[in-house]
Amino acid sequence: MDLVFFGIQGSGKGTQAKTLAAELKYYIFEAGGELRKIKASGTDLGELVKKYIDNGELVPFEIIMEVVNEAVAAVPDDQKILFDGIPRDEDQMNAFDKILSDAGRQIRCVHILLDKDEAVERIKGRAEIEGRADDADQEKVLRRMDLFSEKTMPVIAEYESAGKVIEIDGKGSVEEIYARIKDGIADLN
């Protein structure tokens, strides 16, 4: 069973996803990380991708879906995948579901829940520590959070009604949240 991680910016999603993937031997697909590699590639595509990332906007559908498609195709059938940062809207969800079903893969979702106010506070700290350009600009972070609420929450709701979502309380320490996630997915394999 593959996993798809969801959570508002600042929820700790990325950290938790990385730790879990390393411990339980999931191949991790990080949409933002893959796109940042393209951004840094010095190509025309990189320049295009940079504009979206730096503005906190979603990179165009075709670009991200191509990256996902190639990644899934390259992973052996018996290797579990943890997806972080995909799908982010309804169109991506439809394409993503098709890629996975064509590959004979099934998913469960982990949604780390956190209030927007608390998420904003955490992001302020993270911007200082990690120095990520798109986290330094508060306005762009808020834009990404709005996109999460408007575009990604409906995706989570759909997976929820299909009974595929494990909800995790995102308050507390990194260790506490990690323990909740491990508990939540304990019955999967």
Binding-site ranges for ligand ADP (CB under 6 A): 9, 31-32, 35, 52-53, 56-59, 64, 85-86, 88, 92, 134, 144
When CB distances to ligand ADP are compared, the closest residue is 32
Q: Based on CB atoms, which residue is closest to ligand ADP, 40 or 183?
A: 40
Least CB distance from residue 19 to ligand ADP, whole Å?
16
Q: Is 167 exposed, middle or buried (0-12, 13-18, 19+ CB in 10 A)?
A: middle
Q: Considering the complex, what minimum distance in angstroms separates the CB of residue 186 from ligand ADP?
A: 26
* Contact yes or no for 119/20 (Cβ under 8 A): no
Side chain identity at residue 23, one-letter code: E
Residue given tokens 């290797």 in the structure block: 79
Output 163 or 181, the one with its CB closest to ligand ADP: 181
Which residue lies nearer to ligand ADP by CB, 144 or 180? 144
Q: Which is nearer to ligand ADP, 43 or 183 (CB)?
A: 43
Query: Which phi and psi (to 5°) does residue 108 adopt?
Result: -125, 150
Q: How far is the CB of 67 from ligand ADP (least distance, A)?
A: 9
